[in-house]
Amino acid sequence: MVRTKWQDIYQQLRDRILRGHLKPGQDFPTNFELMKEFDAHAATIQNAVNALIREGLVYSAENTTKKRSVRPLPYRLNRRGDVIKDSDDTGKESVLQLKIITQEREIPREIREEIEAPALFYHTIHMRDDMITAIHKTYIPNLIPLDRLKPRLTKRNISIYDAIKILGYHPNECEETLISSLASPEEIDELEMPKNASIPIVRITRKVFDYRGRLILISLMTDRADCYTFQYRFSLI
């Protein structure tokens, strides 16, 4: 597949950042400087720079071309697997969709044997510095009173696990399956990554059970592998 000129410029600049030729925290070259270096039009340069910004390698302060810098690397959060929670103190979570689904076709085929309608669908994105780092799609079965849980999840600064605990259902065990691969075209769109990016992602299926072994939620999570370090602790007994 032949790359366009902006894609070639993007790849060269990306390599300079990853190899340390452009140092973390230093000013990123201006469009004018890049136009002279690559003998390219302004639009071509801007396409390449926009891809670097979307990938999280370049930070654009105030969304201008005059105040750009190389993002410090590595830029990873530690996601621990020995606690049933997600914490991202340096970022923010936004709810894209929160609804009670009543049709079986609205539940992903791979989890229909464990989750059936009606169920609560809780769709969130996680962001840092205007970059999407993760997408979570959580399905909660009708075991929990969904009409009482839904309004609690609209409140600020309450985690899904805390909301479930308030209703008397205590998360006790967490089972996760991780698969790492390059992002699919759909995942590239959801994560707003550059179309030609070869960025690995980690797909996580998280199942949470209460102390009776009852399933209380399944989360289908898509995380950018360059934004997280995954750490797990488990018993060898």
User: For position 91, what pLDDT does the model report?
Assistant: 60
What is the predicted pLDDT for the residue at 156? 77
Where does CATH 1.10.10.10 sit in the chain?
5-70
Q: Is-above-0.75 flag for pTM?
A: no
Mean pLDDT of 191-201: 74
Tens digit of each residue's pLDDT (9 = 90 or more) over 65-103: 456 778 765 456 666 665 555 545 456 888 999 999 999
Q: Please provide residue 203's backbone torsions phi and psi, each rounded to the nearest 5 degrees.
A: -95, 125
Using DSSP's 3-state secondary structure scheme, residue 180 falls into strand
Statement: residue 129 has pLDDT above 80: no
d(CA 226, CA 54): 13
Can you give the pLDDT at residue 87?
47
Rounded-to-integer distance, Cα 151 and Cα 134, Å? 23
Cα(163)–Cα(172) distance, integer angstroms: 14
Asked if 204 contacts 223 with a C-beta cutoff of 8 angstroms, the reply is yes
Q: Which residue in 136, 122, 112 sits closest to 190, CA to CA?
A: 136
> What is the rounded average pLDDT for all residues in the chain?
84
Residues of the chain with CATH 3.40.1410.10: 77-231
* pLDDT value, residue 2: 61
User: 3-class DSSP state for residue 227?
Assistant: coil
d(CA 212, CA 120): 21
What confidence tier does 199 reach under pLDDT thresholds 50, 70, 90? confident
pLDDT class of 235 with cuts at 50, 70, 90: low
Contact 204, 221 (CB under 8 A): yes
State the pLDDT at residue 228. Answer: 80
Give the tokens for residue 78: 């530690």
Which residue in this structure is represented by tokens 């229909």?
112
At the fourth CATH level, the homologous superfamily of domain 77-231 is Chorismate lyase-like (3.40.1410.10)
- Predicted local confidence at residue 13, as pLDDT: 92
> From CA 128, how far away is CA 108, in angstroms rounded?
28
- Residue-wise pLDDT tens digits, 155-193: 877 889 999 999 999 988 888 999 998 888 889 889 887
Task: Report the percentage of the chain scoring pLDDT > 70.
Answer: 82
pLDDT of residue 17: 86
CATH of domain 5-70: 1.10.10.10
pLDDT of residue 56: 72
